[in-house]
């Protein structure tokens, strides 16, 4: 399971990094073309918008893997014994249900609705934009299953305190 998690983390993390790097280059071009050339770029806004959509869904899947997603831990931290164990299992189960019903099923439905649409400037099929939902959802399903199995067999390594603090903004 650790090897599968490492491979998935590498793929999702690399994709997030590539999208972010592309967004930085496009944003720099947008600023340069607007202020230095005095002719604003027409395509950069769409690329940045779609890059943000993809990075959000892939980033959410990566956060699901690391256990750094937003959570209210008050009840879970106060619980003891079997209740604490069950509440620990509730998180990956909730992510699994949400990922399948909302992101995968809803995302596939959105892709179906957008199948004949094209973006205004780039003229790319909007299906590619909406594909971020089921792709991110599929990664979240795999991560949730891994998290659930690791919690059932008590091999889950929690995120270190620094990583959790950075994710919560503390």
Domain housing 89? 2-168
Q: What separation in angstroms does the CA of 18 have from each of 22, 23, 25, 97, 99?
A: 6, 9, 11, 29, 24
Confidence grade of residue 76 (pLDDT, cut at 50, 70, 90): confident
| Number of structural domains in the chain | 1
pLDDT for 165? 60
Confidence grade of residue 145 (pLDDT, cut at 50, 70, 90): very high
34-69 pLDDT tens trace:
999 999 888 999 999 999 999 999 999 999 988 777
Dihedrals phi, psi of 151, to nearest 5 degrees: -75, -35
Please tell me the pTM assigned to this model. Answer: 0.84
* Helix pair angle (44-66, 161-168), 10° resolution: 140
Q: Tokens 């959570």 label which residue?
A: 71
pLDDT for 11? 95
101-135 pLDDT tens trace:
999 999 999 999 999 999 999 999 999 999 999 99
Spatial neighbors of 116 by CB under 8 A, at least 6 apart, are none
């Amino acid at each position: 399971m650790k090897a599968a998690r490492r491979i998935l983390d590498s793929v999702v993390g690399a994709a997030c990094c590539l999208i972010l790097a592309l967004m930085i280059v496009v944003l720099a071009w947008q600023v340069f073309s607007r202020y230095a050339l005095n002719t604003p770029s027409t395509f950069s806004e769409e690329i940045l918008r779609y890059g943000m959509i993809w990075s959000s869904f892939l980033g959410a899947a990566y956060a699901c893997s690391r256990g750094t997603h937003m959570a209210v831990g008050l009840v879970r931290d106060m619980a003891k014994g079997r209740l604490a164990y069950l509440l620990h299992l509730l998180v990956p189960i909730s992510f699994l249900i949400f990922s399948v019903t909302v992101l995968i099923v809803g995302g596939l439905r959105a892709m179906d609705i957008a199948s004949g649409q094209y973006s205004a400037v780039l003229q790319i099929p909007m299906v590619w934009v909406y594909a971020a939902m089921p792709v991110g959802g599929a990664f979240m399903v795999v991560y949730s299953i891994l998290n659930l199995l690791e919690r059932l067999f008590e091999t889950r390594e929690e995120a270190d305190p620094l990583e959790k603090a950075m994710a919560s903004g503390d």
